[in-house]
Amino acid sequence: MELFTVAAIALPLLGIMAPAMLGKARDDAKRVQGGQNLRQISIASTTYGATYLDQIPSFSWRAPRNGHQPQYPGSEFDFIRDGMERAAHDGEAAALQATEIIARRTRHAPGQIDPDWLPHELYTPLILQDFLASRVPEAVIVHPADRQRLRWQRNNGRDFLDHALGEDQPDPDGKDWRLLYSSSFLTVTGMYDAAQRDADAPARSRLRQGRTHREFLLPSGARLGGLTMSHIAFPTSKIWMHDDMDWIARNGPLHHTHPGATINTAFADGSVRSYASSELNPGWDPWRPESAEPTLYDFAPAAWDTAEPLARRPGLARWTREGIRGVDVHSAERDTGQEARIRGAEAWVRHADRPESRRAAEEQVKVLEQAEASRLRR
């Protein structure tokens, strides 16, 4: 009788708890698989570096400069060759390099070419896919809980390209055709903007975030790519790629700067670990290295994003203080002349409405409005 009584109480409770337990187990499995995908990309990067003199995978084509011809190995496509002759800066050259890889490996005609596209952040895995002769698009560069990108890749991307995914999909005939080949994992700017590691470089020669997460300012003369593993000062503490979103948050994806976000992070030593956004160092404003304030920007989701918009988000590992030579976890930020060396971004992540955040954001907006630089989009 006692056993029946216990069972009568326990079984209904188990019925209530089981779905939640199974859901958490599925989420944990997806986070682990996302980390494994990042790990696979890290292994491919190590192989790439061993093949190409320790080079960090990045777009390497160069625009014409000071009367010199563009630097690239040529292309079978006329529109790529013509575009390289007219490229205004290395950002446009990188966009053409990404387009050339996609066109050559898929034999699909690309949509509208965007000269203001900065592909480094979400498309750097294309370099590795081309190096390894892997399929494009490829599921390994997508987090298993990133339902949108996996949906776009369905049927090898044909449904996306044929407008078969409904009205909410990006336009494959416009500038957003490239999203089919994008990654769920963000490559941080310090891994391709060489001026961030150079303490003597003019501050305004560095790449900088615009007002939203999708916008960048590229100064004239900026050099992108060409960094090597030897430039990394703290491999165990320097993030080079991480989840763009917390893809398995309870109520839907959260931007990686959200106070409740936990993300997978790939480090320069090849390890992959999970961190809460508040545990990462806040990062810097590369145009004001002497300030302790991080880069602040708004997360403005696109129509197909389900994450909520956010204001005044700190740069974190995306804008590591001193770039590739900086530190993202385990210790305080590097000394670039700021008045305080900070460890952990909790104050900036959790308290975006505090007066310091509002004041810093207003000052940075004034700088952006006056900046003379190419305005690019990721």
Write down the pLDDT at residue 28: 74
State which of 126, 159, 185 marks the end of a domain: 185
Report if residue 244 sits inside a domain: yes
CB 265 within 8 A of CB 242: yes
Q: Are residues 240 and 179 in the same domain?
A: no
Dmax (CA) for the chain in angstroms is: 93
CA dist 337 and 356 (Å) reads 19
Taking the C-alpha atoms of residue 278 and residue 259, their distance in angstroms, rounded to an integer, is 7
Q: Are 130 and 243 found together in one domain?
A: no
Give me the torsion for CA of 232, 229, 55, 378, rounded to 10°: -40
Does 365 reside within a domain?
Answer: yes
Q: Which of 185, 219, 252 is the last residue of a domain?
A: 185
Residue 222 belongs to a domain: no
State whether 161 and 65 are in the same domain: yes
Same domain, 272 and 338: yes
pLDDT digit string, tens, across residues 201-235? 999 999 999 999 999 999 988 999 999 999 999 99
Residue 321 and residue 333: Cα distance in Å, rounded? Answer: 7
pLDDT confidence tier of residue 17, bands split at 50, 70 and 90: low
Residue 53 forms part of a structural domain: yes
Distance CA 376, CA 215 (A): 6
Which segments of 88-186 does DSSP mark as H helices, in order? 90-106, 120-123, 125-132, 147-153, 158-161
Share of residues in the chain with pLDDT > 70 (%)? 95
Quick one: 260 and 338 in the same domain?
yes
Whether 223 is covered by a domain: the verdict is no
pLDDT tens digits, 294-308: 999 999 999 888 899
Q: For position 7, what pLDDT does the model report?
A: 65
Same domain? 180 vs 273: no
Residue that is written with structure tokens 């995978």 in the block? 57
- Asked whether residue 76 falls in the same domain as residue 164, the answer is yes
Residue 24 within any structural domain of the chain: no
- Give yes or no: residues 159 and 46 share one domain: yes
The answer for residues whose C-beta is within 8 angstroms of residue 99's C-beta and 6 or more apart is 80, 110, 113, 178
Task: Indicate whether 153 and 243 sit together in one domain.
Answer: no
Residue 95's pLDDT is what?
97
Q: Clarify whether residues 176 and 251 are in a common domain.
A: no
Token pair 């990686």 is found at: 256
Look up the domain containing 324 and give its range.
Answer: 234-377
| 87 alpha carbon, distance to own chain's centre | 24
Beta-carbon count within 10 A of 271 CB: 14
Which three-class secondary structure state does DSSP give residue 44? helix
Q: Is residue 219 part of a domain?
A: no
3-state DSSP call for residue 28? helix
Query: Rounded CA gap, 123 and 95, in Å?
Result: 10
Which of 19-33, 124-138, 259-273, 276-290 has the weakest average pLDDT?
Answer: 19-33
Residues 286, 165 share a domain: no
Q: State how far the Cα of 230 lies from the Cα of 202, in Å rounded to an integer.
A: 22
Number of domains present in the structure of the chain: 2
Final residue before a domain boundary, out of 151, 166, 185: 185
Is residue 326's pLDDT more than 60? Answer: yes
pLDDT value of residue 8 = 74
Element (H, E) at 209: strand 208-209
Q: Phi/psi zone of residue 226: left (φ > 0), alpha (ψ -120 to 50 degrees), beta?
A: left
- From residue 168, alpha-carbon distances to 151, 249, 304, 305, 308 in Å are 12, 22, 6, 10, 17
| 285: phi then psi, degrees, rounded to nearest 5 | -95, 105
Residue 19 lies in a domain: no
Is the separation of the CB atoms in 318 and 266 below 8 Å? no
pLDDT of residue 14: 63
Under the banding of pLDDT at 50, 70 and 90, the label for residue 323 is very high
pLDDT mean across residues, the chain: 93
Amino acid 267: pLDDT = 98
Reply yes or no on whether the pLDDT at 30 is more than 90.
no
* Interatomic CA distance for residues 325 and 196, integer angstroms: 8
Instruction: Report which residue type is found at 40.
Output: Q
At which residue do the structure tokens 């007219």 appear? 86
Using alpha carbons only, how large is the chain's radius of gyration in Å? 22
Which residues, in sequence order, are bridge partners of residue 298? 212
- Interval 259-286: pLDDT, tens: 999 999 999 999 999 999 999 999 999 9
- The more confidently predicted of residues 3 and 18 is 3
260 and 165 belong to one structural domain: no
278 closest CA partner among 332, 329, 331, 344: 344
